[in-house]
Amino acid sequence: MCNRFTMLWRVGFLFLFVIFPNDTYQKLQRQSINLKFLELLPNHMTDQFLGSLFNSSLANVMKIADRFKFCTADKEALKFLVFRNDKMDPSELYLSSNDLDMRIPTKILIHGWYGTGDNEFIKRLANQYHKKGRYNVIGVDWSNHSKRDYVSSSCSTRDIGKVITEFILTLIGGDLRLLPNIHLIGHSLGAQVAAFAGKSMKSRTKRNIGRITGLDAAAPLFEFPFKVPKHLRLNAEDAEYVDGIHTNMGFFGFASAFGTSDFFVENGSPIQPGCNTNNFFEDLVCSHGRSVDLFLESITSKKLIGQECPNPFVFRIGLCSNRKRAVMGEEISKDVTGNYFLDTYDKPPYGKG
């Protein structure tokens, strides 16, 4: 079923570009296509996806989104965990005894829905950074809020972002010259948390954080069932440089571009290679997590290379082969802008070079 679904999605998606290549892509950049597409799916697939997020049917999702408001988060519930090079497990970072050298690059890793500050995603990234060189690596643990129902977790993202801003300002001792060293890396809802940290920093200091990387930034309630204004979600103005990696387009992850640069893996297909099983929901989760796997690989490899292209159809038929190529992930050049597309293998190493 899922293999047939993937093929149906790709054929249908590309068909739109055959008929209306420019209009379709511009529309996709403005709004989510989920509602209409979900209406075409078998009921059990739609119910499985929406039930996991909203405990609701397709008919009620718009009402939930219309009623959605940001809420107050318990600041005391947040923990910041430091991953040191000589230790396997992190320790809680207390600002009163902070001994980090903030003159070196600082990676702040933010988990998504139902994650924790020391989950495997964060541990693996921290380990790779310490293998690569000298970095401060900090995990944000907002699990007291992320382990709630999806709507409740989403509503706290703005306040969590503000707490991270306060943390960063204290960490750098108010020295704004150190902000370019700060790199926020957020997966799913964590990407939206990073966005609000960036917005809060800019509002308070008139300066930007150095970089935000959105790993398949969460779409539900931010782009789906309708796209919210950019001041309420991750966008290119939230840091000096914002890069996005899209691996579950239109379901858990954003369908449209939001960054200085955006990389659409397998055209941002909702199902990534190697994630084809007999369980639709598990395939979506696997594909959503693929963005983390790819970024992890990019820390030590430059073989994940995207091709600049105006839209997926033009890329797929090979009309962008002479356009600019760019390395995706950790080593991206800050002069890279626009939309890039790439194919990958179905297991690591994923990069095709």
Residues 232, 157 contacting (CB under 8 angstroms): no
Among residues 111, 145, 187, 288, the one annotated as catalytic is 288
Among residues 141, 159, 216, 283, the one annotated as catalytic is 216
Joined together, the tokens standing for residue 27 give: 């529309």
Burial bucket for residue 83 (CB in 10 Å: 0-12, 13-18, 19+): buried
145 is catalytic: no
What span, in angstroms and rounded, lies between the C-alpha atoms of 225 and 233?
A: 14
**Percent helix, strand and coil across the chain, each to the nearest 5:** 45, 15, 40
288 is catalytic: yes
Burial bucket for residue 212 (CB in 10 Å: 0-12, 13-18, 19+): buried
156 is catalytic: no
Q: What is the dihedral of CA 233, 341, 344, 317, to 10 degrees?
A: 140
Helical axes 189-205 vs 157-171, angle rounded to 10°: 50
Q: Give me the amino acid identity at 189.
A: L
Among residues 52, 56, 77, which one has the least CA distance to residue 67?
Answer: 56
Among residues 146, 154, 188, 256, the one annotated as catalytic is 188
Give catalytic residue positions: 188, 216, 288
